[in-house]
Copies of this chain bind each other. A is one copy, B any other.
């Protein structure tokens, strides 16, 4: 009957999502599976949200603390945020309802390097984990678990939580069995050992998540796909940004600093990332590797075409068409994709050893190369830092990419001073917009400013930035990193006050 639940004892715990959700009590810290919209529980959060709303209607408090791998989907973050059911949420998120609550100041949100979440939980920094809700592909006879379309922090959640609710999702293909690599060699200091991974395709763990069946209090069967948006073909701006990065790769190969196999690629999600990946194919690369967080459609295409021979990640993030492509050719992809725990996919030790090429989006860069990845106008959370810091700090190269303007030209992607800093001048090497690429390696702050303004700024903002820098270079208190402190956040302040960073006198 329960064909994906081979463990007899756990078969007996099959129940409805409503019954399972009823075991989650107010105030609990609940760790859930899910990473960039893949492998999140599909049923229990919705049932829980309904019970929260009923409690709220009765005048009762019902909120929990929610820990995940990264972003999830409307069925988790969306419903719990709508119900007002989260008092705390960590780490990365991208749900519109949840984002609004965060920026209305209605819930505590903690933004953490994705490579730090598991260890900080082990260190006890987030308190006791009462319960875990984990989606899996199936349960083996010995109780071990076949992971789903993301691994994320599931190993940690299963080990740290007192009690566990499993969701067995029949729609996730059983043929994923064998593509995961769950590393069990982590420890707390002073007992840590070297992690013996030296190539992106090294397997250092086990295909299954270990489980103590005694901790399981419910098993829920689901049959629903990961909720993903359709894949959008890269737009012209994204293609221009990608073009600058690919030209840079060319010149680095000519200079002997890279070979035509590059180095393991890390790529964020979204339109620009897909454009870069598509460009690698057009440029004729073959036999590359990826050591990254997420396999998105563009990456899948490169694997199919042999441009990438192996990709290591912690999660998928595929469109419906991508899922169809993957499921139809799963035996092919299983040999070429390894899904790991996110403390391994994002581990500083491994990223530095492998020398990853880190390619991430940003909200803005300032003229000195400090990057804001998270905060609109310095105050409103967009999604979170994700793994960009893990890779930018430790990689061989760190590229941050954005169109030179946003909001139809009203906001500049290059600003005098970043209103929030996620990546400091010490960690950023390449700033890229559709206008061009600023190579900051080996440059002092003032050299950086000249390069960024010249190469990356949009013409509508370039004169403003140049004027700011020129005046700051003359009038600044210190002239190492010249700033005019009463003007340095003027772009942001104008945007908040008037809806555009352009001054009224700019004559547009």
Contacts and interface: CB of A to CB of B under 8 A. Distances in A.
Interface of A: 88, 102-105, 108-113, 116, 120, 123-127, 188-190, 192-196, 198-199, 255-257, 261, 263-264, 347-349, 352-355, 370, 375-381, 385, 389, 393-394, 396, 417, 419-426, 441-444, 446-447, 473, 476-483, 485-486, 488-489, 492-493, 496
A198 B192 contact: yes
B198 A123 contact: no
Select the residue from A347, A348, A370 with max chain B CB neighbours within 10 A: A348
Contact of A480 (B109, B120, B385, B424): B109
A196 to B, nearest CB: 6
A36 to B, nearest CB: 19
A377 B256 CA distance: 41
Residue with the highest number of chain B CB atoms closer than 10 Å, among A126, A189, A352:
A189
Nearest to A350: B349
A376 B111 CA distance: 27
A88 B380 CA distance: 39
Contact of A485 (B88, B199, B377, B426): B377
A489 to B, nearest CB: 5
B188 A355 contact: yes
Interface of A is mostly: loop
Contacts of A124: 255-257
Contacts of A422: 424, 426
Contacts of A385: 426
Given A194-B195, A393-B393, A426-B389, A420 B113 contact: no
A51 B113 CA distance: 50
A9 B484 CA distance: 57
Contact of A477 (B199, B380, B444, B478): B380
Contact of A425 (B111, B198, B447, B476): B111
Contact of A489 (B196, B381, B488): B488
Contact of A443 (B110, B370, B488): B110
A364 B353 CA distance: 33
A378 B426 contact: no
B127 A478 contact: no
A499 to B, nearest CB: 11
Contacts of A425: 111
Q: Which 3 A-B pairs have the closest CB atoms?
A: A380-B478, A189-B355, A105-B479
Contacts of A353: 189, 192-194, 349
